[in-house]
Amino acid sequence: MIAEQLLLEEAEQLLEKSIIYYQNRPVGTVAACDQELIALNYDQCFVRDFISSALFFLIKGRTDIVRNFLEVTLQLQPKEKQFNSSQPARGLIAASFKVELVDGQEKLKADFGEHAIARVAPVDSCLWWMILLRAYVHASKDTDLVYRDDFQEGIRLILDLCLVTKFDMYPTLLVPDGASMIDRRMGMYGYPLDIQSLFYAGLCAARELLYPNKDNQKILKILHNHINLLLHHIRDNYWIDPQRLNTIYRYKVEEYGEHALNHFNIYSDSIPFHNLTEWLPASGGYLAGNLGPSQIDCRFFAVGNLIAIIASLATKQQSEAIFNLIIERWDDLIGNMPMKICFPALEDIAWRLLTGCDPKNKPWSYHNGGNWPVLMWMLTAAAQKIGKGEVAAKAIEIAEKSLSKDGWAEYYDGKTGRLIGKEARKNQTWSIAGYLLAKELIANPNHLKLFSFDEYM
């Protein structure tokens, strides 16, 4: 008990130290306060990294910092149509920002991906931003902020960007590789689940946040239709369980026309049946990592599956099956540090072709099968959503043995996450805040309401 208390105190102190100030107001938290390694861009406030800190602050009644963050990131959002394609698109929310001193004056500097490794724009930022705005309104009851013209415009610009007419037949969002937490090439171009789950939650948030006046009627209707299409598309087509695996195994191919059963023309040889049928327990299932023309990525991705549960994108039965899988495949998915970002790792030729031989993403390292403590809060939230808090509590207990001892590492390597990540930063803020948030969710599952969604009506 005392050890646990000390750990919580240490985490709270470190989180406090990570806060960034702009014009004397707290506006966010840095990605990592690692003294030993060169900062790269870890001295910035990343939108996705700030979410766990923000939700924790909201729970603790510190709504001011979240409000400031939302205002600052909204100010940085490009509002004009760009005719120069090297400029960030209208509506985008930055991947990260920092406060710089220019001629003695504090200035905000945003990165929309133009400085990031491989220059990928973050697709997840604008989706997280809407989810956080909704959580802020729930926690603070400050509806004045969200109904302000600049916030309503900001939401509409994000929706314009996400719901744009495109060369596409699916309700999912078409994105390049590296557009989310996994921000390096990992064979995730197309329609990766991690983005689609956030897209779904972001759209549901937007529907609640848009003021229902006459001007917004059209967009609200479009939103409603889109949410429904996306919901059914993911539930029906991304789902993998033993029964569905068997259906896919016996699929006919090259079908033409409306009545085709194999909608995506999946060739069963592309699926690692041999491993998957051994690995998938009879009562387990999960949402596939990606789906497109003749492509179903059978890797398990944690963010996509956990957010799908939290947002009620997965059905109740699907959510339970995902947890059955986590329980039955505990060593693979939780191991020594909750939890694995994706499983299994890409190896050999797949690693070469799909990561472009990325040495940071070697098999069972970093994004390619590494374990990330930040995922603990999503695991806990998803577990509480389906009344399995004890599963998350067990995982947190495992993490508590190493978190402080290992200096709040960013990620872990190895099949069961036993090694501190080869290039992991220490004092990584979202590892710290992810733990604090997970503990709050265990103590009081009611906090889940801030960012979970009920079955869509």
Q: Which of 34, 49, 320, 358 binds ligand GLC (CB under 6 A)?
A: 49
CB distance 19 to 65 below 8 Å: yes
> Smallest gap, in angstroms, from Cβ of residue 220 to ligand GLC?
32
DSSP per residue over 216-248, as a string? Answer: GHHHHHHHHHHHHHHHHHHHHHTEE-HHHHHHH
Residue 97 sits in the site that holds ligand GLC (CB under 6 A): no
Which residue's Cβ has the minimum distance to ligand GLC? 31
List C-alpha distances in Å: 249 to 87, 258, 310: 45, 21, 30
Q: Which is nearer to ligand GLC, 57 or 411 (CB)?
A: 411
> Smallest gap, in angstroms, from Cβ of residue 420 to ligand GLC?
16
Residue 123 sits in the site that holds ligand GLC (CB under 6 A): no
Residue 31 sits in the site that holds ligand GLC (CB under 6 A): yes
> Smallest gap, in angstroms, from Cβ of residue 376 to ligand GLC?
15
The 136-175 site mask, x for binding ligand GLC (CB under 6 A), equals: ----------------------------------------
Q: Which of residues 421-450 bind ligand GLC (CB under 6 A)?
A: none
Which window, 42-50, 54-62, 246-254, 319-327, contacts ligand GLC (CB under 6 A)?
Answer: 42-50
Q: Which is nearer to ligand GLC, 49 or 297 (CB)?
A: 49
List C-alpha distances in Å: 53 to 48, 231, 248, 362: 10, 29, 41, 29
Q: Which is nearer to ligand GLC, 170 or 366 (CB)?
A: 366
Q: Which is nearer to ligand GLC, 139 or 339 (CB)?
A: 339
CB distance 423 to 359 below 8 Å: no
Q: 363 CB contacts (<8 Å, ≥6 apart)?
A: 345, 346, 347, 351, 369
Which window, 44-52, 98-106, 198-206, 255-263, contacts ligand GLC (CB under 6 A)?
Answer: 44-52
- Count of residues of this chain found to bind ligand GLC when the rule CB under 6 A is applied: 6
Q: Which is nearer to ligand GLC, 46 or 343 (CB)?
A: 46
The 179-208 site mask, x for binding ligand GLC (CB under 6 A), equals: --x-x-------------------------
The 373-412 site mask, x for binding ligand GLC (CB under 6 A), equals: ----------------------------------------
Which window, 46-54, 67-75, 223-231, 293-301, contacts ligand GLC (CB under 6 A)?
Answer: 46-54
Residue 233 sits in the site that holds ligand GLC (CB under 6 A): no
Q: Which is nearer to ligand GLC, 191 or 411 (CB)?
A: 411
| Pairing mode of beta strands 286-287, 45-46 | unpaired
Give Cα 114 to chain centroid, integer Å. Answer: 21
Residue 46 sits in the site that holds ligand GLC (CB under 6 A): yes
Q: List beta partners, residue 21.
A: 26
Which window, 41-49, 250-258, 342-350, 442-450, contacts ligand GLC (CB under 6 A)?
Answer: 41-49
Which window, 43-51, 155-163, 287-295, 331-339, contacts ligand GLC (CB under 6 A)?
Answer: 43-51
Q: Which is nearer to ligand GLC, 159 or 433 (CB)?
A: 433
Q: Which is nearer to ligand GLC, 176 or 389 (CB)?
A: 176
Q: Is 213 exposed, middle or buried (0-12, 13-18, 19+ CB in 10 A)?
A: exposed
> Smallest gap, in angstroms, from Cβ of residue 18 to ligand GLC?
11
Provide the strand spans (E) within 84-186. 96-102, 105-111
Q: Name the residue with tokens 């945003």.
A: 110
Residues that bind ligand GLC (CB under 6 A): 31, 46, 48-49, 181, 183
